[in-house]
Amino acid sequence: MTDEELKQEIEKVKQKIADYTRIAPLLGITPEEKEGQINLMLDDLSKLLKEKK
């Protein structure tokens, strides 16, 4: 993966987290479900950031 592709993937995951955080309450998602999903997305983000180094 090129540096530019990596940057794009990082931004996509950041946007997914922001979008999910914003819409989760509207969808009636429980705090536990929300926390689980966000943790999964943060794991993905962490992996991408490690690749960047």
Whole-model pTM: value is: 0.87
Domain residue extents for the chain: 3-52
pLDDT, tens digit (0-9, with 9 covering 90-100), for 9-48: 999 999 999 999 999 999 999 999 999 999 999 999 999 9
Buried b (16+ CB within 10 A) or exposed e, 24-53: beeeeeeeeeeeebeeebeebbeebeeeee
